Amino acid sequence: MNITIENIILIGSVLLLISIIAGKTSYRFGIPTLLLFLTIGMLAGSDGIGGIYFDNPQIAQFIGVVSLNFILFSGGLDTSWQSVKPVLKEGIALSTLGVLLTAIGLGYFVYLITDFSLYESLLLGAIVSSTDAAAVFSILRGRNLALKKNLRPTLELESGSNDPMAYVLTIAFLSLVQEPEQSIFSIIPLLFLQMSIGGVAGFLFGKLSKIVINKIKLDYEGLYPVLTIALMFITFSATDAIGGNGFLAIYICSVYLGNQNLIHKKTIMRMFDGLAWLMQIVLFLTLGLLVFPSQIIPFIGVGLLISIFLILVARPLAVFIALIPFKMRLKRRFYISWVGLRGAVPIVFATYPLLAGIDKSHAIFNIVFFVSISSVLVQGTTLSIVAKWLNVGLPEKAKPLSPTDQLMVEHPKTLMKEIVVEENSTAIGLKIVDLKFPKNAIIAMIEREGNYLTPNGSTELMARDKLVVLTDKKDVLNEVYASLRMDKA
């Protein structure tokens, strides 16, 4: 079956429905939902029972880039700076040096066991060098897997920030394959420029996006997520246009926004959480359709060797070397090594050699696809088991809520205080979003002239407003009064 304009909506909606229903039951058997989506795409493809013919790497790459924008942005919004700050150095080391060492170590192994040239081998190593943000976010957060001593923030920070490094390495080694007369050291300026420009641009666009969101005064609440989507794509494309790494920029931008006071922040985060899941499904279905399973069979042997070396040698060595300067127990280092999930990102990156038309592009794509499937299947299904075996997991009753979980609970606080805005208060006329209200306190309701209002970030305070404030600690009330520009009563 060929995909046409007439049937694409029907095919897409049916596959989406099947994926959601199948994903509902997948946890019973410990199967990662993303692997299930990929399998459904393969079954629907030309080699499967669906017979849908799809062989367009350019469209698949476009869908992949768009999907990664949403996945990384959603993951960044849900990243708490307070949890990431203590492990920032470890995360940066893993997402830069760790990725580089993985690419070089695996690339040299590929060079030894195949007929690939050195640059082709390093290209394959670069493509699978990063952990997959979609896989890590969905498995850790979907199963609410709680880990000891900042392990989860470390893993999420690494997976969210290491795709840019893998992307730059992929583009760099691809250029060396195409022009082998270049020196390998010629890629160093590209690495530096991409990462530095991407980082600075992400922070600047984050600050600009906050101003735009809070000052634009849209008439409809539902437009704020749409505005944020536009700002996300502007951040990515503008950064890419000036020579920076767009993936790094949108991740830093979203982490910044996720830790700021925004108008309709709850609506924005809910919307992006749903869109991230949609994009994960669409991405894996598309990549499943793109692959021809019959073409993977000849590469199963070499793919298995590469997978084993990556999981048991290249990734652990890279992690242990990258974390040498930091104090961390051996068991935690082993667990970080095990959560080296490969998924959709390497497959998306493997489309770049296909579009470049290099000799070994199809072999690289099929090997990468096999490595990604084996990684999600082996590592993704055993994260909980390995966490228990290494004693790095928390018991069920001790599991903390994620930032998103806390935000979605309507009234998670236990202490209530009514505060009246006096007529001479300097807070009159200010929007709630501009108050710098403490993170662990909320204004649940406002009584104004006998009416009760449910406030949001754009609500302006008026004289004689009675604020119903909820918090979980009595000491936080001092910060509440300070943000309202009044002395504690």
With contact defined as beta carbons under 8 Å apart, do 63 and 282 qualify? yes
CATH architecture of 8-398: Up-down Bundle (1.20)
Location of structure tokens 């080296």: 340
Q: How does pLDDT run across 289-336, given as a tens digit for each residue? A: 888 888 888 999 999 999 999 999 999 999 999 999 988 889 889 999
pLDDT for res 402: 47
What's the pTM?
0.79
Q: Are strands 441-448 and 451-453 parallel, antiparallel or unpaired?
A: antiparallel
Q: How does pLDDT run across 146-194, given as a tens digit for each residue? A: 677 778 888 888 887 888 889 889 998 999 999 888 777 777 888 888 8
pLDDT for res 395: 59
Cα separation, 31 vs 23, whole angstroms: 9
For residue 442, the cross-strand partners are 470
Q: What residue spans in the chain does CATH classification 3.30.70.1450 cover?
A: 411-483
For residue 451, the cross-strand partners are 448
Residues of the chain where predicted confidence (pLDDT) is lower than 70 = 1-7, 22-34, 134, 137-146, 394-414, 487-489
Token pair recorded at residue 314 = 């290249």
For residue 136, how many C-alpha atoms fall within 13 Å in the half-sphere facing its CB? 29
Location of structure tokens 């952990």: 131
pLDDT for res 411: 46
Token pair recorded at residue 229 = 């989507």
Q: How far is CA 449 from CA 38, 370, 452, 465, in A?
A: 56, 65, 8, 8
pLDDT for res 376: 82
Q: Are strands 415-420 and 451-453 parallel, antiparallel or unpaired?
A: unpaired
Token pair recorded at residue 275 = 């869109």
Residue 478, H or E segment: helix 476-483
Token pair recorded at residue 239 = 């950064």
3-class secondary structure, 371? helix
3-class secondary structure, 337? helix
Cα separation, 225 vs 264, whole angstroms: 9
Location of structure tokens 């150095």: 89
pLDDT for res 403: 44
Token pair recorded at residue 46 = 């030309």
pLDDT for res 97: 93
Q: What residue spans in the chain does CATH classification 1.20.1530.20 cover?
A: 8-398
Instruction: For 411-483, give the CATH class.
Output: alpha beta
Location of structure tokens 């993303």: 34
Token pair recorded at residue 117 = 């040239």
pLDDT for res 147: 74
